[in-house]
Structure 1
């Protein structure tokens, strides 16, 4: 059994959408008349995860404007990753630092350290079909399993979102490049 603290959700929404072409921002593409990122934020807000940290980067001002109504909800912390071009790991580190150190990374809001957070669910901003039920199932599985990591499975393969115990935040803060928490996950299978 894992602790009875809270699980934070960190939504990585800083990428440059470089594979999209045409100057389009993948997270702002409409799906059911709302931006893709809005669906992910809604799922996180409808789940037990708190706080929900949204890490912006590429075109942060545009993204913030397009999903402003979602970012103003209670339980949301919005931070910007100035180093997003250096890979997904930088966004993960900014999100974790927000939980651990209470840093705001220059977006004008300063949050206190998130006392009571004992785990973090790393989510991707471009997974609009994720549901609150999936998020809550991962949180429940982590709480009852005693494992340090719980990951979603798709077709028998591990994927995102992935939930990490706070005891692994230090290792996650050392990850570099565009791999996210994959190495930490592999190290602690």
Structure 2
């Protein structure tokens, strides 16, 4: 069993507006990620956010919304909330909310790999670079609860290199996240082209 944890309490510091609500070919950026997760083989769906900005969208796709009142302390606070609200016996699949071209097929491939390697951290890779989303087995719950600052789960990945199962993918677009307005424009043009 896998719980999807959608991390959406960042501050979009390199983006003038709330990038997750930017129109992306007819829907907000975050809605594409929610939709892909909602069709995937996950048992629970958690949405971690600073306020209630995305609650209505989350409800539409069956997410339980959790308010992060300590977002200023870094990404670790979102991660901790996700872990604490995840059933203790379930693996945790962490998503960033600004990958609008991520597909249900990719998510399910990672989940299948997790089921085949239940003790391993499952990590997608493009051209040798680690990407998101990442699956942590339930056994990593104590280690994840010790994470601080703005690292997220990267410190755990570095600490357990022998516990990593990397899954190679070919299409970098599906894993591209939106950090800047130029990223948004480029990815939007790619989406329009693909449509």
- Count residues in correspondence: 161
Report what 1:7 is aligned to.
2
Structure 1 match to 2:44: 51
Pick aligned residue for 1:97 from 77, 81, 84? 84
CA deviations 1:55-101 (Å, max 9, x no partner) are 011xx23333xxx1442444x211010001111110010111111xx
Is 1:71 matched up with 2:55? no
What is the Cα-based RMSD across aligned positions, in Å?
1.5
TM-score (norm 1): 0.80
Q: Deviations over 1:131-154 (max 9, x none)?
A: 111111111111112442011112
Q: Which residue of 2 aligns with 1:26?
A: 19
User: Once the 2 structures are TM-superposed, how far is the Cα of residue 127 of structure 1 from its aligned partner?
Assistant: 1.1
- Aligned partner (choices 171, 174, 178) of residue 146 of structure 2: 174
**Structure 2, unaligned runs of 5 or more:** 162-195
Whether the aligned pair in 1 keeps the contact of 2:36 and 2:104 (CA below 8 Å) is: yes
| CA distance in structure 2 between the partners assigned to 1:20 and 1:138 by the alignment | 30
Pick one of 130, 139, 151 that aligns with 2:111: 139
5+ residue gaps, structure 1: 1-5, 100-113
Separation in 2, partners of 1:63, 1:142: 29
Q: How far does residue 118 in structure 1 lie from its aligned partner after superposition?
A: 2.3
Partner Cα separation in structure 2 for residue 46 and residue 159 of structure 1: 21
Answer whether contact 2:7 2:78 (CA < 8 A) is retained.
yes
TM-score when scaled to structure 2? 0.78
Q: For 2:11 and 2:103, how far apart are their aligned partners in 1?
A: 24
Instruction: Work out whether residues 10 and 95 of structure 1, in 8 Å CA contact, stay in contact via their aligned partners in 2.
Output: yes
CA–CA distance in structure 2, aligned partners of residues 118 and 69 of structure 1 = 25
Matched ranges for 1:29-44 at <5 A: 29-44=22-37
Between structures 1 and 2, the one with greater helix share:
2
Residue 69 of structure 2 is aligned with which of 70, 82, 85?
82
What SS does structure 2 have at the residue aligned with 1:122? strand
